[in-house]
Amino acid sequence: MSDVPILQETTRSTGREALRNNITAAMALAGAVRTTLGPLGQDKLLLDDEGRTMVTNDGVTVLESAKVEHPVAKMLINTSTTQDRIARDGTTSAVLFAAELLQNAWELVLQGVHPSAIGRGYRLAEATCREHFQNLTLDASKELQHRATHTSLAGKIHANMQNRLAGLALEAASAVLMEGPNGPVADPTRVKILTQTGGGMEQSHLVTGLVLAKKRVSDGMPKHLKAGKVALIDGGLERREMMSDVTLNVTGTGVLESFREKEYAMLLEQVKHIKSLGITLLACKEGIDDDMHQALSDAGIQTYRRVARSDLDLLARGTGATLSLNIRGLHSSDLGAFISSKNERWNGVMHWIVETEEGGATFIAQGSTNEVVGEVERCFADALGVACQLLEEPLLLPGGGATQIALARHLRRHAETIPGREQLAVEAFADALEVIPRVLAENAGLDPLDTLLQVVAKQSNHDGELAHCIGLDVVARRPANMVEQGVLEPLRITRQALAGATEAALSVLRIDDVLWAKQDAAIPEGVLDED
Ligand code: ADP
Ligand code: MG
């Protein structure tokens, strides 16, 4: 308990003790995902509060579902969430690397190096790696893009599906590729994923355009529309609900009827307005009164109600339409365009398929059970993220720890030129990079140290330009040229993992005082090892 009055209800740890506690928390968190790294990584069985289970070997999924109290553990979880948001992959690697940077920093602190000198060294090392990337990258041809997308799925799903999903993810990414002000942009959120239980997972496929499991409100409406104008309404075409404190003063027969007729006439006015704007396709977020169906059918308008807001947003992006609050305020400038809009029955369920100028695609995830469909959906989303990155920045790095080893070798050579204690930190950074090949070896049942030394020796003895491509092929269980093996990763993933992990480690190193409002900081728990 602190002797400063304001801090009386807090637990406090300062200086070295704070740092040691924080690093223990980081290592414990990294320990929770360590065994999932690489294609031979183990799965984790996650249980939530309601007893639902999920089997995954995805780092960020494991971490985000862990109930963690410790602020430093939370910082590392943020690193993995940011990694997932920016790069869509590399989440386990980022956390392992951050924890290793901290562990190595602790050893230096014990030798008397001040955390701020370590921080400076780490920054310098990260900048040196960033510069060196240009000597390690290779251009991503179509074939290599496929290989890299495939690598991101290694160990996550059945091998045949990896290949198929990688191809579909690249196809979907191309469908949403656009020229932006700062170069090409492929936004994965423009690809819709529709899940269907029943059938094998290999029946999962991609459809051009946006597909919704919806049926037009009435069979009398056109089933198939050729190019036309579309309106998207953030409301509905309904009679307004009576407010509870409204009293309708019925003074004679026919008052109620005339009130209803007026209401009906107002709705009809809206249908007229839609027709006058030349709209043939209408989608509303809310309901459409039953007696409006006929009027809309007569006007030849294909109409959908209760369309989810997220789907309306996708339609808006594809058609160029602006969402209007209601029909009365609808203006011709709010309208969008479509190429075709049709209803088709798939496996007994009606689907609405819209094709637009701005492309867009829908992935239909299929599988025999909800769990299988969920797995296909998650894997596709991951592969899509990687594919989109690759189309935006088509540069690759060799995987299997090759790049980390090459960077570490470069850093060690560079460290010799740095005077002062920062040199030690640069070397510690290089050692930390090697956590990736070490853990890959560990998870393949190989001796981590011997394997690492073998790969390092192979890179050093290789006199060709491609020395940095030699990494650990965990399937063949030996060092190999990762480009030839097709184990490749987008530059953006590795670069972000390095930057994010360094940033997290630096933040932790800057802390020398931890105040707890409550007693005792629990080390993360709540993650169950399946093995
Ligand atoms: P992350 O969450 O960091 O992406 P993964 O479990 O997806 O973790 O593992 C990614 C690592 O596995 C990368 O370093 C990648 O190069 C490596 N990897 C993938 N396939 C192979 C392979 N066949 N041989 C060796 N390493 C591989
Ligand atoms: Mg991965």
Residue-level pLDDT at 2? 46
Residue-level pLDDT at 466? 87
Q: Where are the beta strands (DSSP E) in 90-190?
A: 138-139, 177-180, 183-186
Q: Please tell me the distance from the alpha carbon of residue 153 to that of residue 315, in angstroms, as a whole number.
A: 30
Query: Which one, of 493, 429, 436, 505, lies nearest residue 75 by Cα?
Result: 505
Residue where the block lists tokens 């997932």: 84
Q: Please tell me the distance from the alpha carbon of residue 357 to that of residue 340, in angstroms, as a whole number.
A: 10
Residue-level pLDDT at 529? 44
- The 10s digit of each residue's pLDDT in 28-80 is 889 989 999 999 888 777 777 777 777 777 777 778 777 777 888 888 999 99
Please report which ligand is nearest the Cα atom of 487: 1
Q: Please tell me the distance from the alpha carbon of residue 4 to that of residue 141, in angstroms, as a whole number.
A: 63
Cβ atoms of 405 and 469 closer than 8 Å: no
Q: Is the pLDDT higher at 118 or at 254? A: 118
Residue 463: phi and psi, rounded to 5, are -95, 0
Cβ atoms of 531 and 35 closer than 8 Å: yes
Ligand 1 within 6 A of 479 CB? no
Q: How much is the average pLDDT of 183-205?
A: 91
Ligand 1 within 6 A of 490 CB? no
Residue-level pLDDT at 442? 96
Ligand 1 within 6 A of 473 CB? yes
pLDDT of residue 200 exceeding 60, the answer is yes
Q: Which ligand 1 atom sits nearest the alpha carbon of residue 473?
A: 24
Instruction: Tell me the catalytic residues.
Output: 58, 91-92, 382
Residue-level pLDDT at 88? 85
Q: Where are the beta strands (DSSP E) in 360-517?
A: 361-367, 395-398, 470-473, 478-481, 488-490, 513-516
452, two tokens? 């690492």
Q: 243 pLDDT band (50/70/90 cuts)?
A: low
Residue type, 29: L
Q: Please tell me the distance from the alpha carbon of residue 448 to that of residue 477, in angstroms, as a whole number.
A: 12
CA 39 – ligand 1 centroid, Å: 6
Ligand 1 within 6 A of 228 CB? no
pLDDT of residue 520 exceeding 70, the answer is no
Residue-level pLDDT at 487? 96
77, two tokens? 């979880």
CA 153 – ligand 2 centroid, Å: 7
Identify the residue whose C-alpha is closest to ligand 1 atom 9: 38
Q: How much is the average pLDDT of 511-527?
A: 56
Q: Which ligand 1 atom sits nearest the alpha carbon of residue 93?
A: 3
Residue-level pLDDT at 244? 59
- The 10s digit of each residue's pLDDT in 357-381 is 877 899 999 999 988 898 899 999 9
Residue-level pLDDT at 516? 60
CA 458 – ligand 1 centroid, Å: 20
Ligand 1 within 6 A of 472 CB? yes
- The 10s digit of each residue's pLDDT in 470-486 is 999 999 999 999 999 99
61, two tokens? 């999924």
Residue where the block lists tokens 């894997």: 379
Q: How much is the average pLDDT of 487-510?
A: 95
Residue-level pLDDT at 435? 98
- The 10s digit of each residue's pLDDT in 106-161 is 999 999 999 999 999 999 999 999 999 999 999 999 999 999 999 999 888 888 89
Q: Measured in Å, how far apart are the chain's first and last C-alpha atoms?
A: 41
CA 93 – ligand 2 centroid, Å: 8
Cβ atoms of 199 and 347 closer than 8 Å: yes
Q: 245 pLDDT band (50/70/90 cuts)?
A: low
Q: Which ligand 1 atom sits nearest the alpha carbon of residue 436?
A: 14
87, two tokens? 């790069």
Ligand 1 within 6 A of 441 CB? no
Q: Is the pLDDT higher at 446 or at 66? A: 446
Query: Which one, of 480, 407, 471, 406, lies nearest residue 440 by Cα?
Result: 471
Residue-level pLDDT at 527? 43
Please report which ligand is nearest the Cα atom of 148: 1
pLDDT of residue 250 exceeding 80, the answer is no
pLDDT of residue 531 exceeding 50, the answer is no
Ligand 1 within 6 A of 437 CB? no
CA 91 – ligand 2 centroid, Å: 7
pTM above threshold 0.85: no
- Strand duo 177-180 + 183-186: pairing: antiparallel
Q: Which ligand 1 atom sits nearest the alpha carbon of residue 404?
A: 14
Domains in the chain (CATH in brackets) are: 10-138+397-517 (1.10.560.10), 157-208+364-393 (3.30.260.10), 211-242+254-358 (3.50.7.10)
